[in-house]
Amino acid sequence: MPAPSYSVALETPASEPVALAPVAVEEPTRESGVYYNARLDPKNFLEGPLSPNPATRLRQMLARPGIVVAPGICDGISARCALEAGFDCLYQSGAATTASRMGQPDLAIATLNDFVGAGQMVSSLNPSVPVIADADTGFGGPAMVARTVRQYARAGIAACHIEDQVQTKRCGHLMGKQVVSREEFITRIRAAVIARDGIPGGSDFVIIGRTDSAQVLGMDEAIARLKLAAAAGADVCFIEGVKTKDLLESTVAALAPTPVLVNVISGGLTPSFTYFEAEQMGAKIIIFSLVSCVAMAHACRAAMKSLKKTGTDFISAQGMDPKKFFEVMGLNEIIELDAAAGGSAFQLV
């Protein structure tokens, strides 16, 4: 399909229009049903310094050697801890967000606004670090899927994954899942891609197609769905619940050259692969969805039991006084900013 061209006319002082030469504008195409956007071709992200734009940076990380490791975060504390540990990508888990913000299980209870609010906060802590965020089913039909992508991108999130479960979805590692038809799933992906491509200025936001059909309809159907998702414009493919090393390797081979994301949850459907192992199997992104919230549940349970038993929080504090805690939360950055701006509010803290 030839790229469209546009003629531009300028007004002269005598109001005589002057026609300029046509300017070619290369736009995404869908020849034979396969999406292609030359601007987003991975080869365009192979060289140069890492971008401060998180979506562009994630595309650079996907195009270059090495696996992208994204620990699951659930709130500001877990995000700060992940950044302190040196991770260069974060994963905003839908299950973890629902648990931390609402105290509820991952059963389609959280809304678009809940997820966007959490994502905006996390993305603001270090705006150059990409955040991959769960977007569940897109929260509705094509219009809502498009709205979801636009709001995620506006919030500073770098990528989202959209799945093929029914609207009353559940955690991908619970039993009893139901999925929509292939057609409805691909409609969701196509709506997400159209919305991304319609963002003024040319967004690099990454669309991840996720299928939960492996446990419902089998691996062959899951692979078929993700091939269709990639053809519709999904930048990355994600099969939930890959149960063995061989299945992950065959999934990567079947979906090449589209990058594959693997989700590891201790005790879940997928074995507890290390990210070194996942990289050897060919995965390009690995997320550890519940690494923070499960650890926080254990730590908080222990602290509450200790307080109930001993009458003090001295043991659970482990020597961390308020200042040390706030340092993890970015206290020193604020002190430095205040001083650089000529302030004196934090000369003594």
Q: Which of 75, 212, 235, 240 is catalytic?
A: 240
Annotated active-site residue 136? The verdict is: yes
Q: Which residues of the chain form beta strands (DSSP E)?
A: 5-6, 9-11, 17-19, 23-24, 68-73, 90-92, 131-134, 159-162, 206-211, 236-239, 260-263, 285-288
Annotated active-site residue 81? The verdict is: no
Q: Which of 75, 134, 204, 235 is catalytic?
A: 134
**Residue 80 main-chain phi, psi, to 5 deg:** -60, -40
Asked whether the beta carbons of 250 and 53 are under 8 A apart, the reply is no
DSSP 8-state secondary structure symbol assigned to residue 51: P
Q: In angstroms, how far is CA 144 from the centroid of its own chain?
A: 18
Q: In angstroms, how far is CA 88 from the centroid of its own chain?
A: 13
Q: Which of 92, 93, 168, 98 has the alpha carbon at shortest distance from 130?
A: 92
Distance CA 91, CA 293 (A): 12
Q: Which of 57, 59, 80, 161 is catalytic?
A: 161
Q: Which of 160, 171, 237, 293 is catalytic?
A: 171
Q: Which of 35, 75, 80, 106 is catalytic?
A: 106
Annotated active-site residue 39? The verdict is: no
Distance CA 96, CA 150 (A): 22
Q: Which of 89, 173, 196, 263 is catalytic?
A: 263
Annotated active-site residue 210? The verdict is: yes
Asked whether the beta carbons of 198 and 149 are under 8 A apart, the reply is no
Q: Which of 57, 80, 188, 210 is catalytic?
A: 210
Q: Which of 163, 164, 197, 212 is catalytic?
A: 163
Q: Which of 216, 208, 8, 185 has the alpha carbon at shortest distance from 89?
A: 208
Q: Which of 35, 74, 80, 91 is catalytic?
A: 91
Distance CA 264, CA 278 (A): 10
What residues are annotated to the active site?
Answer: 91, 106, 134, 136, 161, 163, 171, 210, 240, 263
